[in-house]
């Protein structure tokens, strides 16, 4: 059962939590102390997120059993008994915010807010169209905020806007992929999908992608003004960023994207654009 307990924690989803490193890394501040604090906050977010996955699957156990893929999840399949799942989920959900609080109270508050919003989402809010997208997207923003709070790092307004719209873009893409995959049966596993249509979600993708690009451009130009390098690396980082967004839209149109973390870990083109962005932005931050 240990293997099933670990699978239910969804370690693949922990990839999202690297956003806690975003704020200090974006400013080029990666001292030993800040890295250590960020790592603790990362672990705290992994614990909390896994706790919410447990409780989400406990709440959705019947709906998951009707889903062609989700029915194989440990709780839905019975590999992890409901009683055991409740205990583990509660311990993770409480332990994560407490660990972050030990780093800085502000970080604990952000992680605790994530836990409250995610539990509220799992219980009822996920059935409200648009609010479900906003709440899931807020989880990504709160990850970045937790990292900034844990390291006492300033967050630019454009950084927050870019993270917010980028997160909304990813979440809208996930719903778009689910609607394409499930078709008329989509509402069996997610009621809020009844309020959406493929054309509407495609419009949301276009709007959120555009907003992400605009806010990132303004953030890059803002940071570029304070850089002392001869080349405009911050501005040049816009190119791989836009290519990555467009590649993700292409994956969605081809029927992928239902599990964004799998797209990011398997799509080679997306990985190359991501690495190019990291390299170019790093030259702007650390090469000046």
- CATH code of 107's domain: 1.10.357.140
Q: Which residue has the higher pLDDT, 166 or 58?
A: 166
In the block, residue with structure tokens 């995610």: 118
- Span 96-108, mean pLDDT? 93
My answer on whether 167 and 123 are in the same domain is: no
pLDDT bin (cut points 50, 70, 90) of residue 238 is: very high
Burial of 71 (0-12, 13-18, 19+ CB in 10 A): middle
My answer on whether 39 and 137 are in the same domain is: yes
Minimum mean pLDDT among 152-161, 164-173, 223-232, 276-285: which range? 223-232
My answer on whether 170 and 34 are in the same domain is: no
Query: Does pTM surpass 0.85?
Result: no
My answer on whether 222 and 279 are in the same domain is: yes
Token pair recorded at residue 94 = 């409480």
Tally DSSP H helices, then E strands, for the chain: 15, 0
Contact criterion met (CB below 8 Å) for 173 and 196: no
Domain containing 237 equals 156-288
Condensed to tens digits (0 to 9), the pLDDT of residues 168-193 reads 999 999 888 888 877 656 555 667 77
My answer on whether 144 and 287 are in the same domain is: no
Among 124, 139, 155, where does a domain finish? 155
Condensed to tens digits (0 to 9), the pLDDT of residues 262-274 reads 788 888 999 999 9
- Span 70-94, mean pLDDT? 83
- E-strand ranges in the chain read none
Report the 10 Å Cβ neighbour count for 135: 18
- Rounded Cα distance, 204 and 199, in Å: 9
My answer on whether 10 and 144 are in the same domain is: yes
Give residue 287's pLDDT. 63
- Rounded Cα distance, 179 and 29, in Å: 41
Give residue 16's pLDDT. 85
pLDDT bin (cut points 50, 70, 90) of residue 26 is: confident
My answer on whether 3 and 123 are in the same domain is: yes
Among 155, 189, 207, where does a domain finish? 155
Residue 231 reports pLDDT greater than 70: yes
Among 92, 120, 155, where does a domain finish? 155
pLDDT bin (cut points 50, 70, 90) of residue 261 is: confident
**Domain tally, the chain:** 2
């Amino acid at each position: 059962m240990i293997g099933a307990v670990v699978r239910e924690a969804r370690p693949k989803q922990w990839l999202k939590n690297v956003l806690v490193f975003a704020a200090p890394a974006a400013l080029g501040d990666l001292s030993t102390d800040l890295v250590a604090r960020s790592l603790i906050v990362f672990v705290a977010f992994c614990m909390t997120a896994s706790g919410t996955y447990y409780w989400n699957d406990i709440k959705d156990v019947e709906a998951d059993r009707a889903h062609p893929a989700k029915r194989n999840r440990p709780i839905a399949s019975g590999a992890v008994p409901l009683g055991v799942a409740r205990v583990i989920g509660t311990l993770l959900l409480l332990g994560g915010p407490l660990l972050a609080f030990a780093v800085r109270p502000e970080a604990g508050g952000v992680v605790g807010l994530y836990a409250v919003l995610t539990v509220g989402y799992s219980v009822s809010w996920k059935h409200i169209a648009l609010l479900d997208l906003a709440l899931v997207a807020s989880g990504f923003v709160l990850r970045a905020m937790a990292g900034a709070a844990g390291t006492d790092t300033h967050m630019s307004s454009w950084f927050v806007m870019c993270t917010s719209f980028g997160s909304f873009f990813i979440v809208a893409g996930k719903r778009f992929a689910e609607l394409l995959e499930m078709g008329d049966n989509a509402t069996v596993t997610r009621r809020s999908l009844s309020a959406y249509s493929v054309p509407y979600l495609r419009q949301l993708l276009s709007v959120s992608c555009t907003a992400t690009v605009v806010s990132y451009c303004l953030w890059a130009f803002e940071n570029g003004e304070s850089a002392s390098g001869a080349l405009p690396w911050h501005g040049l980082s816009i190119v791989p960023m836009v290519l990555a967004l467009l590649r993700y839209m292409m994956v969605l149109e081809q029927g992928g994207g239902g599990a964004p973390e799998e797209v990011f870990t398997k799509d080679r083109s997306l990985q190359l654009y991501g690495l190019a962005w990291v390299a170019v932005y790093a030259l702007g931050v650390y090469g000046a």
